[in-house]
Structure 1
Amino acid sequence: MSARTLKNTIFSAFICVPLFAAGCTTANETYTPPIKPGSSTYSNYLIGQFAVRHRQMDKAADFLLKVDEEKNLPEVLNKSLERQLFTILAGEGRIEEAARIAAKINSNDLMGQLVQIVRDVHQKNVEAALKHVNEMTSQGLGVYVKPLVRAWIIAANQGAEPALKSLETMKSQKGLEALYHLHSALLHQFGGNEKAAETHFKQAAQGPNGMSLRLAELYGTLLVKQNRMADAQDVYQGYVTAHPDSLYIQAMLDELDNGALSKRPALTIRDGLAETLFGLASSLRSHSTRQAGLIMGQLALHIKPDFPIAQILVAEILETDQRFGDANKVYATIPATNPFSWSARLRMALNMDDMDRTDDAVEVLEKMIQQHPKRLEAHITLGDILRHRERFAPAAKAYGKALDLIGDQVGAHHWNLFYSRAITLERLKRWDEAEPLFLKALELEPDQPFVLNYLGYSWIEKGMHMERAQKMIKEAVRQRPRDGYIVDSLGWVLYRIGEYEKAVPHLERAVELQPSDPVINDHLGDVYWKVGRNREARFQWKRAKSLEPDQEILNIIEEKLENGLIEN
């Protein structure tokens, strides 16, 4: 079970609707070698689709652009190609090319209009941008997009006051109040009314999401511009108190300390429009809409390339589609001198590990530790990567250094660090050192299901505290009834106390939930043998053997296949 604290695995496929049909792909496809051009329009079309399926999106765009230029496909296929090509180009940040395709396919499509607006703003053609805004639909996503984009285009043409009036339509719409106040604050700041801007920032923080990370940064920056450093510090520290594990707020505190916030240039139209697009991208990064979120993020970067938090967002969306190399290219665009580079490099290391470049990941993290030896994150991430690769001794050392840095400043959010170090020590057969750390993790986070399961299972294996272990694992199953490893633990504790018939349904359920785990299949084989289902037991052991268990477990399975389960 993974304790990698900095990456959440999410999402699976592109959304397949007009202008988003870039091609659907699964999450576990392997990387393929570079693709070579074909000899005809149709071969290049098929090669382009192959590139899409294998996530070589930049290559796919090149091949499909060539096909589009040749115009040799049937009309119905050509229209489908143009929609797909638009999505790929926009998602890759090739906005000028995407805008040319958008102009050909559907003048009423919101995303196509938005791409053309960004192109117009980038080219300083405000009149063309306003024309496209006025043509934009107000339905669906347009409810959010149109008034915000229109306000900033009006501000570019007429100034802050007319823009603020145009935004009034959002004020009374339920669910849009926080957006209204955020952009009213930015427009007032753009117009030079800092007092009104502060009022709206405070009102935005009263919305359902409270003081978000981005809101804290923007409000804090306004305060710094007024030389109110202590007030800015209070805003940031308030966020830290609510979100103690946030890496990004630490980057903002670094900027506050080193004076970078006070040197930020005055707010521009591009900043306001990029803020709109970044906010939308953040909202659309979920499973079914991540391609739209990626496009919004790329649009934000097209008009404001130096936008670290948007660069990180785009990279994170690429990660969800397992495009780790492409994500790292985006992270690498954040200058090493920028405080956000720290978070970017942590994620780059995790991505390297996901690409089986573990030694490179370790090198990155060791350099970060040399740069800032007292920052926890690099030590913990190094430990996570080494533990994931079963390098338990150096992992335990990395976690130990992190615990040394914490000292007596232990908080509830540190439970995972104690848990992770405990696992490495348990795997190193240093149980006397591991057990107190498991218990400390439970002290910090009572009833945490992963800790309950791991500690309970370990006690079962050692024949210790069987009654307490059973209660702990039952609580873990109650919280996570679809976790095969935890359900297996409940079945195994029943097995160990001789309740074989009761253990059977739990171990069968565990195999259903986690069919590719050799240990769980082995456990089911053992309990089948105990209830007299010997043929099924041998089938499960053979199944466990086929799943490539480690050598110690393999030896035990082969002995059982040869002689059956020998009674102790």
Structure 2
Amino acid sequence: MPVTVFSNRPRFRTLMRSLLTAGLLSGCLAVSGNGLSAEPELADNPYGNYLSGLHALRSSDYATASVYLDAALRESPDNAQISLLAFQSNWRAGNLDRARELAAILVAETGRTTGLAPLFLGLEALKEGEYALADQLLTKAQRDPLSHVILPMANAWLMAVQDKREESFEALSRLRSVAKPIADIMEGKLHEYYGDWAAAEKAYLGGATDPMTLYSGTQRALVRTYLRQDRFDEARSLLSDMLARNPNAVELEDDMARLMRDKNLEPLTETPLQAVAEGTLLIAQGHNDWAVKMDLARLAVSLDPTQVNGILTVGQLLDNSGHYAQAIAMYERVPETDYRQWQSRIQTALSRFNMGEKIDAIDDLEEMALERPGQLGPLDALSRIHHSEAKYDLMLSALDRLVDRLKTDQPGHWNYYHRRGIALSSLDRWNDAEQDFLHALKLSPDQPDVLNYLGYSWVDQNINLDKALGMLHRAVELRRTGYIIDSLGWAYYRLGRYEDAVEELERAVFQEPMEPVINDHLGDAYWKVGRYREARFQWERVLGLDLEGNEEVSADEVARKLEYGLSNGG
């Protein structure tokens, strides 16, 4: 999921604009302190319940929305719009039995052929072995943004379970033009289903010559095709390479332990429904829209209740929307014997932290860090928790312990050094921080956050100016956010290139019009080029924005600039 938590300035922004992608996410909705919605109070008329349900739905509080909309539907059972909204709410809340009833109403009584309802019913029919009904429903489902990828995949497996081999690959060919990577994976799984391991290997590779360039799930599938062809050494070699690049990936560690113990690995998917569920989850993970991701992740879990990655995805999406107790309930569905329970425990601790159980959450993560001395996840989570509270000494301690556990440098480790650099910089240990930023860039040269932070810091200290400007230009090329553009503009300002500063800072304000520090910078730049009226307009605007807790903009200083400009006292 991803946004960045780290400040784009050398100092941590008091009002964090971003959240933590590893599960430490602030609730942005009106929920109670523990992440549970308040008990809905039903109105005595359907219109009141409809409006309350609509409000809850738009706030992504689907559990509450489902209660209100079900109540409204009881009073207006023939209202197709309420039926649709009630279906969406129950579906996203995980009330799948009720969602199934509403989907049947939508398809049978309103003739609905788009969206999730007919697709869900078609796949449910496939799950129950009712192939004729599945064919009827999937044929009825029109291709729309939600189903245009899933339909050909579902149809391919519908043909496969009816022993229609040629038709199954023909159906899958329609997927290739819109989602080739997923088509390659599904083709490989179809060949596995038919027992043709060499063809499966070729499909998984998809024309690639280096397996290490593929999606990790495809790499794991390739390992299994090698084993089925009695190529144990190649399987072990590929898995070893994968572990070397991702030394703390619990699924790879689990694969290696099983491989060395049993000389074999079970298939990643063993039934057509599991294959459809995995494909559906891959589609979900490729979407940026929260609601679409939730719809598809729920669909994957409904098709295959053992789909642990789907369970974790639903939990993380609930975390993202501030429903922490519901997220924990999903994480608790991960079996104790599954290697991914380790991840679920970390996510549960982060959810508990966000619910206000801070001490218990930190204690849980500290215990996990001791439990598996080679694992990075608990320390990574601890560092993010301490970062969110601006406790840089504790953040540094967690990251020091984490870096000590790194056996070899990998490109993906840049993030740890970047964040340790932020902690060191915030503790006024700039020389040490600079070494970490440079090491992060050595591991992964084109990371805009690192380029931005280090480049801006150098400009701020009036050192390495040419190199710093180059870094900031590159950061803007890689990620044109208002905050990074502001860094470049402010660098120009500090260098006395005021016209250039105005040009960049105007772009930054256009992207982030409500950000006080960027508006303040633009006001300063306007003053320096003689645009005094516009400068005062920007400073007045700053005073009208929310400055509470903002360490970068002082209301008193802005007021002085309004009175005196930058020639005196400003």
Asked if structure 1 preserves the Cα contact closer than 8 Å seen for 2:243 and 2:249, the reply is no
**Matches of residues 496-515 of structure 1 in structure 2 within 5 Å?**
496-515=494-513
Count the aligned residue pairs. Answer: 534
Alignment of 1:9-408 (within 5 A): 28-31=28-31, 33-34=37-38, 35-71=40-76, 75=78, 78-107=79-108, 109=113, 111-120=116-125, 124=128, 126=130, 129-130=133-134, 132=136, 135-137=139-141, 139=143, 145-146=150-151, 148-150=153-155, 152=157, 162-170=163-171, 173=174, 174-175=176-177, 182-183=185-186, 186=189, 189=192, 193=195, 196-206=196-206, 211-221=214-224, 230-240=233-243, 244=246, 247=249, 249-250=251-252, 252-253=254-255, 256=258, 271-287=271-287, 291-318=291-318, 323-351=323-351, 359=359, 361-406=361-406
1:474 maps to a residue whose letter is H
Structure-2 change in CA distance of 1:513 and 1:325 (3 Å) = farther
User: What whole-Å deviation, never above 9, does each CA across 1:353-386 have from its counterpart, x for those lacking one?
Assistant: 6666655543343232122122123222322332
Q: Provide the aligned C-alpha RMSD in A.
A: 4.0
Q: Please give the alpha-carbon distance, in whole angstroms, between the structure 2 residues aligned to 1:486 and 1:154.
A: 51
Structure 2 letter corresponding to 1:90: W
Whether the 8 Å CA contact 2:113–2:142 is kept in 1: the answer is no
Distance 1:479 1:496 in 2: 23
Moved more, 257-266 or 552-561: 257-266
Deviations 1:276-315 (A, max 9, x none): 1331232144557654553343233234322212222333
SS of the equivalent of 2:404 reads helix
Alignment of 1:536-555 (within 5 A): 537=535, 540-541=538-539, 543-544=541-542, 546-550=546-550, 554=554
Describe the SS at the equivalent of 1:106. helix
> Which runs of no fewer than 5 residues in structure 2 stay unpaired?
7-17
- How far did 1:345 drift? 3.5
CA distance in 2, matches of 1:88, 1:396: 42
**Partner Cα separation in structure 1 for residue 134 and residue 433 of structure 2:** 64
Q: 1:136 to 1:248 in 2, by over 3 A?
A: farther
Amino acid at match of 1:380: D
Contact 2:119 2:138 in 1 (8 A): no
1:410 corresponds to 2:409: yes
Whole-Å separation in 2 of the counterparts to 1:349 and 1:533: 52
8 Å CA contact 1:488–1:507 kept in 2: the answer is yes
Q: Greater shift after overlay, 549-558 or 341-350?
A: 549-558
Q: What do the CA deviations read for 1:445-498 (whole angstroms, capped 9, x no partner)? A: 335332222122212222323343333323333433x32232222332333233
Cα gap change, 1:295 to 1:450, in 2 (>3 Å): closer
SS of 1:326's equivalent in the other structure is helix
Note if contact 2:280-2:300 (Cα within 8 Å) is conserved in structure 1: no
The equivalent residue for 1:462 is 461
Task: State the AA in 2 paired with 1:204.
Answer: Y
CA distance 1:179–1:375, shift in 2 (3 Å): closer
Q: Please, which moves more after superposition, 304-313 or 469-478?
A: 469-478
TM-score (norm 1): 0.79
Identical counterparts, % of pairs: 28
TM-score by length of 2: 0.78
Distance, in Å, in 2 between the alignment partners of 1:486 and 1:177 is: 34
Letter matched to residue 464 of structure 2 = H
State which of 21, 31, 46 in structure 2 corresponds to 1:7: 21
Deviates more, 1:340-349 or 1:145-154: 145-154
Q: 1:443 to 1:103 in 2, by over 3 A?
A: closer
Change in CA separation of 1:476 and 1:60 when aligned onto 2, cut-off 3 Å: closer
Which structure's relative contact order is higher, taking Cα pairs within 8 Å and 6+ residues apart? 2
Q: Is the 8 A contact 1:495 1:527 kept in 2?
A: yes
